[in-house]
Chain A
Amino acid sequence: MSLSLLARRQAGGHPMRTLLTVGAATVAIFLFCFLRSIVTSLDAAVEASASNRIITGSAVSLFQSLPSAYMGQIEAIEGVESVSRFTWFGGRYQSEENFFAQFGCDPETLMQQYPELLLPDAQKRAWVRDRRGAIIGQGLADQYGWKIGDTIPLIGTIYPRVDGSDWEFTVCGIYRSAKPNLDEVTMYFHWEYMDRVLEEGGSYGPRGTSVFVVKLADGFTGEEVSTAIDAYYSGGPQRTRTQTEAAFQAGFVSMLGNLPTFLGMLGTAVLIAILFGVVNTMTIAARERVRSMGILKSLGFPNRIPVRLYLMESTGIVLLGGGLGMLLANLTQDPLRAAFGTYIPVYHVTQDTYVMAALICIAIGFAAGAWPAWRASRLRAAESIRRGV
């Protein structure tokens, strides 16, 4: 016999009511973790961005290609160590629904500029050798069941083949990412292969490059090199806009408008709703237990014991529900990441989110139990026993 046993038994006295409250807390804390993780996952890519890389795109729009000749010119600018091209391919796998990001790039420069891209040496060499070769992230491999040596047929949307056939790429490697700024649901292939097909008339589509990724030489800041690049092209033929990788990533987040704020408000509303729910449960429970509290007092229990019982019960209910919500959030990371695909490729629930969720559970538990606990502490034993039901 212990007070915690009494608190547990009291909570179990109305199993359906307790289960429903636990269920509501489960859903609320899961939603909190889910919504917050969308925001933190979007921010993670920004925060993990490299400080020694800058990105040059068209000053008009990201959808406007830059001339490929810019590559050599940018390489010659002081403070530039290397330049890599990236062209958005925009293909579909088998049908419109199967979309993931694909970029034409320079394999060797890509691997030199992105040490966070983890690929075994043998696979690196195989990709460099095979002009129709591609590497895919582990997430894509898991999602579609692809393995090394498989052929991936892609329907060109921006770059359709003239004969109506699919583009075909051979999987040479499956990469992992060491940092959240690089997702694992993208395919990279040889930019030159695509350009050659375009040059030979095998495909329609704009020639050029979507963006240039510039790695800075030691001793140069992103700001000064960005200014130099944009100044170089200020007179055309196409003006450029160069940003740090973090600013470039943040630009994608800002395209979502006020979504993070909206998600934050939604999460807060969910938590307030569950607070009301638990307060309601505890208030009803307290009304039913007036006599029990009077009995405890008549047995000699001091006022703090009923207070402790209510706080234990309400905190226990919310922590149980919240724990299940956190477990659910943890178990659904992979399927949700797959469902989000290219939109939030690094979706995951951070330790901070779990800690915050646990603290919120404790706070809600205390807040919900505080009112009935205070009422119980003020009840006079004789009156409680006389009035109680």
Chain B
Amino acid sequence: MAEVVIRFEDVTKAYRKGGEALVVLDHLDMSVEAGEFLALMGPSGSGKSTILNLIGGLDLPDSGAVWVQGTDVSRLSADALSSFRANHVAYVFQAFNLIPVLTAEENVALPLLLTPLTKAQRREQSRFALEIVGLSDRMDHKPKQLSGGQEQRVAIARAIAMDPTILLCDEPTGDLDRDSADQVLELLARLSSEFGKTIVMVTHDLQASEYASRTVHLDKGVVVDPTIA
């Protein structure tokens, strides 16, 4: 049995909206094994993105514990969380979220500033990451000069440049056409199968979920398909 790298223990999270508490995760228990490609599906407001934010420590649970690689991230200080994110998780967003004033190569090299690597090593590593996503010929292009699919592949290159254990993908194909979406999904599947990355992907797209090794359905903050929870 593979190692469990992510575990939610009785996690509850609510947001306040107009004075009312909106519960997005309701005593959630779930786990993800190392090397798994997990798809999270469900209607808007079902808590999918919140799960990603909690795994990466971008948000904190109201109660319960979020264990990632043996660490309860909900108990870490701000600085420890930053360090944890830099070392263990990486995000791929629906809106790509590249820094517009930097080139593809510079965007990929950005998180490497957090490492003790030399400038030359950083360049080598970012070029290697761009090669993996098939964009070696676009490294001097700025985001505006790339197509949506290319932007997302640069974002994936940035995510893998740090060699994280876990990739958190929030609707990575939401803004892409079918062909581009398939290229990105194939890339993610390859990262999971060839490079052993644990991938948690939020998606509304049934076809996208087919690339995953497992799919969890959520509704109103709870897992609705008990057979795969």
By a CB distance below 8 angstroms, the chain A residues around B83 are: 300, 302
How far, in whole Å, are A50 and B105 apart by their CA atoms in the complex? 66
By a CB distance below 8 angstroms, the chain B residues around A298 are: 56, 58, 85, 91, 97
**Is A301 an interface residue when CB atoms closer than 8 A count as contact?**
yes
- Among A195-203, A330-338, A347-355, A380-388, the stretch that binds chain B is A380-388
**Is B124 an interface residue when CB atoms closer than 8 A count as contact?**
no
> Are the C-beta atoms of A302 and B82 separated by less than 8 Å?
yes
Number of B positions contacting A (CB below 8 A)? 35
B105 to chain A, nearest CB (A): 8
Name B's interface SS: helix
Q: A6-B102, A382-B53 are in contact. Are A299 and B86 (CB under 8 A)?
A: yes
> Are the C-beta atoms of A9 and B101 separated by less than 8 Å?
yes
Category for how many chain A residues contact B: 20 to 34
A188 to chain B, nearest CB (A): 63
> Are the C-beta atoms of B99 and A295 separated by less than 8 Å?
yes
B219 to chain A, nearest CB (A): 21
By a CB distance below 8 angstroms, the chain B residues around A261 are: none
How far, in whole Å, are A198 and B214 apart by their CA atoms in the complex? 115
A222 to chain B, nearest CB (A): 66
Q: A6-B102, A299-B110, A303-B78 are in contact. Are A1 and B86 (CB under 8 A)?
A: no
**Is A291 an interface residue when CB atoms closer than 8 A count as contact?**
yes
By a CB distance below 8 angstroms, the chain A residues around B87 are: 300
> Are the C-beta atoms of A1 and B109 separated by less than 8 Å?
yes
How far, in whole Å, are A376 and B119 apart by their CA atoms in the complex? 27
> Are the C-beta atoms of B58 and A10 separated by less than 8 Å?
no
By a CB distance below 8 angstroms, the chain B residues around A1 are: 102, 105-106, 109-110, 112-113, 119, 122-123, 126
B189 to chain A, nearest CB (A): 23
By a CB distance below 8 angstroms, the chain B residues around A13 are: 100-101
How far, in whole Å, are A19 and B169 apart by their CA atoms in the complex? 39
How far, in whole Å, are A291 and B97 apart by their CA atoms in the complex? 8
Q: A1-B113, A3-B113, A381-B58 are in contact. Are A300 and B99 (CB under 8 A)?
A: no
Q: A5-B106, A10-B101, A13-B101 are in contact. Are A299 and B59 (CB under 8 A)?
A: no
> Are the C-beta atoms of B93 and A385 separated by less than 8 Å?
yes
Contact of B111 among A2, A291, A299 (CB under 8 A): A299
Chain A residue, CB-CB nearest to B96: A295
**Is A12 an interface residue when CB atoms closer than 8 A count as contact?**
yes
**Is A292 an interface residue when CB atoms closer than 8 A count as contact?**
yes
- Listed by A's residue number, 7 A-B pairs whose Cβ atoms lie within 8 Å are A1-B105, A1-B106, A297-B85, A299-B158, A300-B82, A300-B111, A380-B58
Q: What 6 A-B pairs have minimum CB-CB distances, sorted nearest first?
A: A300-B86, A9-B101, A1-B109, A382-B58, A300-B85, A302-B82
Q: Which A residues lie at the B interface, using CB under 8 A? A: 1-3, 5-6, 9-10, 12-13, 291-292, 294-303, 380-382, 385
